[in-house]
Structure 1
Amino acid sequence: MYSSSTQFNHKKVVDISTEMNRLDLTAISPMLRVDPEADKTFADHFEHFLAHQDAATLDTLVIGFWAEDYDLSDTRYLSRMLAVLIDHKDKLPALKALFIGNIAQEESEISWIEMVCLSPIISAFSLENFRARGNGRFLEAPINNTGLKKLSLETGGLSAETIKHIIASDLPNLEHLELWIGDSEWYGDAKFAAIQPLLNSNKFPNLQYLGLRNCNYADELAIALANGAEILTTVKTLDLSLGNLSNKGAKALATSVNIASLDKLDIHYHYIEDDALLATLATVVPELDASDQQEADIYEDDGEEEISRYVFVSE
């Protein structure tokens, strides 16, 4: 089960939706969220924020639950919330980090958090750090933000269209790219063929961290990266965690000179059964996180053995 984040942009997340006292906004990651039982809209909470806080100093903003009637599948609520932020962008001159969708599983399954195109909100502000959590249809157009350094998209099923628009985006200063691929059974159509152009891209010359997480074809991904993906040219940390990586993918990683050039490899939450293989992998990179080993589900179907390995977040 995934939870809401307590930290964002290296600061503690604090819900200030109804806060009356003036706070030092630079010391926290303030969160605004709608309580569907409180008869308040996001616009109401934002006006309250403007009235009680020094908005000009806000450098980090977290958005939690935004639907007024518990229905996050109704995109009208998200569209209105984004419009409020964009309409008041002159009130937020210092905003550099934005997280949309800090919503725990107990509030909503990730696949129920319906998205609209987030390119306009990313392009509207001089953001350096953008993070979103939702059902995977994040982008319908490229992003225009040359100052963006960190892009993180968390989902149980990423859309191929989103990947296409990331590749087409103008992000020359991007240092951190984190994509949760998810499972195609939960609205995600970003199969390996969709991600391959990204692996062969040199669009991000300053990329230091590449996270292709929560992937249900992690072995195929690992083999492609091990065989020499152009995107790894500058990458120091490769994160393949939360996926269904097994012995097959781990063998490719353990024998790759491309992986050996990394500073860190993160594969935590994995299905690698061979402890000797894990020990070998630990000698390949200076730092390896291979914690949270999982066990595959094995069952019979019409007399044939079936093996299932599940990603961390799908529905």
Structure 2
Amino acid sequence: MAKDEASAAKVKAGGNDGDKPSRVPKKAYERELLRLQADLVQMQEWVRDTGARIVIAFEGRDAAGKGGAIKRVTEHLNPRVARVVALPAPTERQRTQWYFQRYIEHLPAAGEIVLLDRSWYNRAGVERVMGFCTPEEYQRFLRQCPIFENLLVEDGILLCKYWFSVSDTEQARRFSERAGDPLKQWKLSPMDLESITRWDAYSQAKDDMLIHTDTAVAPWWVVEAEDKRAARINMIHHLLTSVPWQPVQRAPLALPDRPAGSGYVRPPREIQRSVPDHAATLS
């Protein structure tokens, strides 16, 4: 699967190992992204108006572009409606809980959208490959996960699961870019670096995960992410077509007239602490 995934990505990109993949033209990307984001705002209003509950799980290879896609989804949304959940490693206490327990408290209430920047599928990926769970815990997860997701969907939660796929060549290029960029070095964790030497193991883990958890009730959708722009556009478009939202009609907003002053006098600025005007020093 490792070579199949890499080869498919190269064919899609139209190049060989050393070639940079072709990209959606920037202007076309920005134009379509803005249109889709306007629809996301409309979808958000539908969620808030109807009390719908949506969970979107983002999984995939390290450096496949999950974070960038999440950022574009939420860029214009109300953080009180759409929130991102990116859980750290479990605590000692959480390790003694039922595996799904710490995720349950982050599920949406009515009128909310939750975006999971990695999810309970950590057990099927990094925990399995790195030996952070026992074989028995892993097998139990594969049995329980479809049941758990069936319960969520049965209760009315709209569950969308996206796997971001990228070739080994493109992943290495992105890792190298991050390593040389002080603004992006924080994105490279020891676990990310370890994934370089365990490409085939992660490929096998992904294949096994899909076999057991790609169900009719909660299917997996693979996002080809060799081109980040295309991946974002395709993922957002698919999300918008997967959720049965409708435009919500709102009454036009009318700004009230400002009333006449009541004699209020602002205190002198000198008695307040002001942020230094660093901008004035710029040429």
TM-score, L = length of structure 1: 0.28
Higher relative contact order (CA 8 A, sep 6+): 2
Q: Which has the higher strand share?
A: 1
Structure with greater Cα Rg:
2
